[in-house]
Structure 1
Amino acid sequence: MATRHLYVVRHGAADPFGELTDIGRRQSKLLADRLARLPVDAVWHSPLPRAVRAAEIIGARLPGVPVRESPEAVDHVPHVPDDPPPAWRGFFDGYDPAEAAAGARLAEALIERFAHPAETETHEVLVTHAYQVAWLVRHALDAPPARWLGLSCGNAALTAIDYYDGSKPALLLYNDMGHLPADLRWTGFGPGVRP
């Protein structure tokens, strides 16, 4: 087994209909320029339009790199805690057991698909959604399942995780927006003071 270098990104900013905005397209192009410096072998993306379009923009800057859909990367709630923190209780109102179980199955499929070493050395980009980024980070840190809550991720932010044979994963970057100018950072977050 060899190292899987997984570059997990949230799609660029999107409108209420799930399409990338002008800002989201600019963010995706800047992220693509950053990723173009890496030896990327494949770009994977969620089936949702905002992730598909961001992956297409990234793929256009990576000639010859295949861009493919990964159904495991679709936006979903990966884990519903038995007793959510007070700030999250309203969010989970209405999640029935069947919906929670479906989310848990998708979360497990995401881990099974991406969170392990590869057969050969690989550098893969995964264009997905905030909750899936949080779930992969939580898993890499071996944190309890409910710890995905509050691990927010900005649009077009870069998270890098290395998966080694016989060793725990290494979280190299989380929510890095260094490739974005100040006016394009922190989209996808609620209001608040940002560093």
Structure 2
Amino acid sequence: MPTRHLYLLRHGAADVWGELTDAGERQSHLAGRRLAALPIDAVWHSPLPRAVRCARIIGTHLPGATVRQAPELADHVPHVPAELPPEWAPFFDGYDAEEAAAGERQAAALTARFARPTATETHEVLVTHAYPVAWLVRHALDAPPARWLGLNCGNTALTAIDYRDGTAPTVLLYNDMGHLPPELRWTGFNAGTHP
């Protein structure tokens, strides 16, 4: 049975202008080296500069893979709960109904394009942002829409999901940073204790 193997990565660490930092470039090279052992067909990336640069770096380690943009991978808020958890209320302050509807359309386009089986065996890397990764994991687990909240991921952390016809998606890895040395792990998270 053909399997669509998706390897999701949040872009490397970026500065306040959205460009990869030196650490983000290192993270991207290390992610590319890890993925080089796999038969990657394509690297898809968000249109935002930090994801574009990260994908291009990863692509240098995957000579047989195409590197292309996918607008569905742009950074977006995929779902605004009707009843906000109190700790999330400040985050959603200012989101109006139109923005929430646009985010839901973007999330639907993301899952329609990538969260499904394909006719042939494929291995695809998606270089995107924390929220689309969270949304795809939530979708694969068939969790309620609000469960994307709090599913953060580190810069270039690897998440892997398999899609096959007739079966539920399989989340194989989530937020795996094994390819990163300790000083490059847990970037993209708030300060705090991490395992």
**Same fold per TM (> 0.5)?**
yes
Per the normalisation by structure 2, the TM-score is 0.99
Q: Distance in 2 between matches of 1:141 and 1:65?
A: 28
Q: Extract structure 1 runs of 4+ deviating beyond 6 A.
A: none
Q: How far off its partner does 1:186 sit?
A: 0.0
Overall identity of the aligned pairs, in %? 73
Cα deviations across residues 16-37 of structure 1 (Å, max 9, x unaligned)? 0000000000000000000000
The question of 1:33 aligning with 2:33 is answered: yes
Q: Distance in 1 between matches of 2:19 and 2:119?
A: 35
Q: Distance in 2 between matches of 1:184 and 1:87?
A: 28
Cα deviations across residues 102-125 of structure 1 (Å, max 9, x unaligned)? 000000000000001011000000
Unaligned runs of 5+ in 2: none
Cα deviations across residues 67-119 of structure 1 (Å, max 9, x unaligned)? 00000000000000011111100110110100000000000000000001011
Residue 186 of structure 2 aligns to a residue whose secondary structure is coil
Unaligned runs of 5+ in 1: none
When the two chains are superposed, the root-mean-square deviation of aligned CA atoms in Å is 0.7
**Is residue 111–residue 136 contact of structure 2 (8 Å, CA) maintained in 1?**
yes
Letter in 2 for 1:81: P
Q: How far off its partner does 1:65 sit?
A: 1.1
The question of 1:82 aligning with 2:110 is answered: no
What's the counterpart of residue 117 of structure 2? 117
What's the counterpart of residue 131 of structure 2? 131
The question of 1:44 aligning with 2:44 is answered: yes
Task: Output aligned runs, 1:86-101, within 5 Å.
Answer: 86-101=86-101
The question of 1:69 aligning with 2:69 is answered: yes
Per the normalisation by structure 1, the TM-score is 0.99
Q: Distance in 2 between matches of 1:173 and 1:180?
A: 15
**Is residue 7–residue 161 contact of structure 2 (8 Å, CA) maintained in 1?**
yes
Q: Aligned residues, how many?
A: 195
Cα deviations across residues 116-154 of structure 1 (Å, max 9, x unaligned)? 101100000000000000000000000000000000100
